[in-house]
């Protein structure tokens, strides 16, 4: 359940001008939870994170400021303030210190990337992880859409500056939201409308034109950003709209040059992926943050998983698992912390196998529940088992990726199981009608619900113990 979102303003001392700045920010989550700092891009504000905050704040303390010159933060006159990315990063660094953050992960997007990367370089000991959503740090990530701005970098003439005013128009703002999206009806019109209202404020044009001109300082800083990545190797996730007209997929892939184990995810989306792919993006982020920020699960709670560390009472159950898999899946050692529960879990799987639901559909339900619970271990196990039971390769691939299934009957099972998890065991009329239309009845509905309950236990155990996925299930 998401937490209440507080809308606050704090006074931050601007070391360059000697004057205080009011920085607006949104905050949600428990104060003792791991912190995620969300840094927005052009031409938006923390408003772009309104949905993501709700998806993450049940588990993390999420803080999203408006950069100076954007949203509800102060926007001093351009000549008096001197807008540059160095200056913005200094102010946001002051904001971080003013509200007392000493350890935090950073989510960066667009302008938030050069801002966040500067924060990370200044205080690498504070940064626990980085998520880049179309936030660039490599020249190959810049598209030809930057050419008018490049011309201004090369010749800062009045004509070249005026040519950039097209980037501040309502049509361009709307384009940034809609380009690359297959269904623009998913985009709330208030998103680009509110952005444009801020862009149209008196003096805003000079602020933004100055930042267009200073963006070349980010390219000059790319080698420094990359050296930071190589030196400190922060846990890193790039989740990228592959149809972005300004930041190209090679920019995401390039992070692996300096952080080889960086996680890269491409979505069939444009620049503002949270407007159309919020749930998908949030699921990816929650899985990443669970693996990187959560300190208490895993070996801190369970120690090293294995048969030697398991209670003696669990040994007979291990033999049952060996008979099925040829080995004991490592998750079995985690559940074996309570041997009676491991025995019950095995019996539950046997009971599911005796239901009217066919074997492949059973695995689909188990995979779907695992996806909805962001449990990669369960996804890997049951997608593998679906393949062994005869599911086509394309079905197994879709199961692993959480995609819609081409087989209508299996897709109905996937949808129903997902709905049971997401909607707190309360499927909608639409979900039930889809299940019935695929030829299933109340027996199947109960069997799918039982599969979901089985995975509630196993997925919780996986999140608590953080087992490595067994090689046999990697596909």
Greatest Cα-to-Cα distance within the chain, rounded to the nearest angstrom: 80
- Do residues 272 and 48 touch, judged by C-beta distance below 8 A? yes
Q: Is residue 1 part of a domain?
A: no
Ramachandran region, residue 20 (left: φ > 0; alpha: ψ -120 to 50; beta: rest): beta
**pLDDT tier, 475 (very low <50, low <70, confident <90, very high otherwise):** confident
Q: What is the dihedral of CA 23, 26, 32, 37, to 10 degrees?
A: -70
Long-range contacts of 221-226 (CB under 8 A, 24+ apart): 221/114, 221/117, 221/118, 222/137, 222/138, 222/139, 224/121, 225/114, 225/117, 225/121, 225/137, 226/137, 226/138, 226/257, 226/258
Active site residue 271: yes
Q: Are residues 232 and 313 in the same domain?
A: no
Say which CATH number the domain at 181 has. Answer: 3.40.50.1820
Q: Are residues 222 and 129 in the same domain?
A: yes
Q: Are residues 38 and 115 in the same domain?
A: yes
Domain boundary among 240, 269, 292: 292
Catalytic residue among 271, 277, 371, 463: 271
**pLDDT tier, 18 (very low <50, low <70, confident <90, very high otherwise):** confident
The CA distance from 215 to 268, in Å, is 27
- Quote the distance between the C-alpha of residue 203 and its chain's center: 34
Q: Are residues 14 and 90 in the same domain?
A: yes
Q: Are residues 128 and 61 in the same domain?
A: yes
Provide the number of structural domains found in the chain.
Answer: 2
- Do residues 268 and 242 touch, judged by C-beta distance below 8 A? yes
Q: Are residues 362 and 464 in the same domain?
A: yes
Q: Are residues 75 and 193 in the same domain?
A: yes
Residues 113-160: tens digit of each pLDDT: 999 999 999 999 999 999 999 999 999 999 999 999 999 999 999 999
Question: DSSP characters for 156-209?
Answer: --HHHHHHGGGGGSHHHHHHHHHTT-S-GGGS-HHHHHHHHHHHTSTTHHHHHH
Q: Are residues 206 and 342 in the same domain?
A: no
Angle between helices 359-372 and 393-401 (to 10 degrees): 20
Q: Are residues 284 and 311 in the same domain?
A: no
Say which CATH number the domain at 343 has. Answer: 1.20.1290.10
Instruction: Average the pLDDT over 228-251 and give the result.
Output: 97
Q: Are residues 199 and 97 in the same domain?
A: yes
Q: Are residues 88 and 134 in the same domain?
A: yes
pTM of the model: 0.87
- Quote the distance between the C-alpha of residue 398 and its chain's center: 20
Domain boundary among 253, 269, 292: 292
Q: Are residues 262 and 393 in the same domain?
A: no
β-pairing, 35-39 vs 61-65, is parallel
Q: How are strands ordered across the β-sheet holding 35-39?
A: 6-13, 20-28, 61-65, 35-39, 104-108, 127-132, 236-241, 263-267
- Do residues 176 and 192 touch, judged by C-beta distance below 8 A? yes
Q: Is residue 209 part of a domain?
A: yes
Residues 163-179: tens digit of each pLDDT: 999 999 999 999 999 99
Which pLDDT score is estimated for 32?
A: 93
Domain boundary among 248, 268, 292: 292
**pLDDT tier, 295 (very low <50, low <70, confident <90, very high otherwise):** confident
Domain residues for the domain of 316 are 299-473
């Amino acid at each position: 359940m998401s937490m209440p979102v507080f809308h606050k303003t704090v006074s931050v001392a601007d070391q360059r001008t000697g004057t205080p700045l009011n920085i607006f920010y949104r905050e949600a989550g428990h104060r003792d939870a791991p912190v995620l700092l969300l840094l927005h891009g052009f031409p938006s504000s923390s408003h772009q994170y309104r949905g993501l905050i709700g998806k993450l704040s049940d588990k993390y303390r999420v803080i999203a400021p408006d950069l100076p010159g954007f949203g509800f933060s102060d926007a001093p006159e351009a000549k008096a303030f001197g807008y540059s990315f160095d200056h913005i990063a200094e102010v946001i660094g002051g904001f971080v210190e003013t509200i007392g953050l000493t350890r935090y992960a950073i989510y960066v997007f667009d302008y938030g990337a050069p801002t966040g990367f500067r924060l990370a370089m200044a205080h690498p000991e504070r940064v626990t992880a980085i998520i880049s959503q179309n936030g660039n740090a490599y020249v190959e990530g810049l598209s030809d859409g930057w050419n008018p701005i490049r011309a201004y970098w090369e010749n800062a003439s009045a004509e070249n500056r005026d040519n950039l005013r097209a980037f501040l128009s309502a049509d361009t703002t709307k384009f940034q939201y809609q380009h690359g999206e297959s269904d623009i009806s998913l985009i709330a019109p208030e998103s680009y409308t509110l952005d444009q209202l801020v862009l149209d404020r008196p003096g805003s044009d000079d602020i933004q034109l100055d930042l267009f001109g200073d963006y070349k300082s980010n390219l000059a800083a790319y080698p420094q950003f990359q050296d930071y990545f190589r030196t400190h190797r922060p846990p890193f996730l790039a989740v990228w709209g592959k149809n972005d007209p300004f930041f190209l997929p090679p920019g995401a892939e390039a992070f692996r040059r300096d952080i080889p184990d960086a996680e890269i995810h491409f979505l069939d989306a444009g620049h503002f992926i949270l407007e159309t792919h919020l749930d998908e993006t949030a699921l990816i982020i929650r899985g990443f943050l669970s693996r990187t920020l959560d300190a208490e699960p895993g070996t801190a709670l369970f120690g090293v998983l294995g048969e030697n560390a398991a209670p003696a009472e669990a040994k007979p159950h291990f033999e049952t698992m060996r008979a099925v898999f040829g080995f004991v899946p490592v998750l079995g050692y985690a559940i074996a912390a309570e041997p009676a529960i491991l025995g019950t879990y095995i019996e539950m799987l046997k009971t599911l196998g005796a239901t009217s639901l066919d074997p492949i559909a059973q695995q689909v339900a188990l995979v779907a529940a695992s996806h909805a619970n962001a449990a990669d271990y369960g996804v890997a196990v049951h997608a593998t088992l679906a393949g062994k039971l005869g599911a086509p390769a394309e079905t197994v691939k879709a199961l692993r990726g959480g995609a819609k299934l081409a087989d209508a009957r299996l897709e109905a099972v996937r949808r129903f199981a997902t709905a049971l998890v997401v909607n707190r065991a309360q499927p909608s009329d639409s979900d039930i009608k889809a299940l019935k239309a695929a030829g299933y009845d109340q027996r199947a509905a109960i069997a799918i619900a039982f599969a979901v309950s089985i995975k509630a236990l196993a997925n919780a155990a996986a999140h608590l113990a953080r087992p490595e996925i067994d090689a046999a299930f990697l596909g």
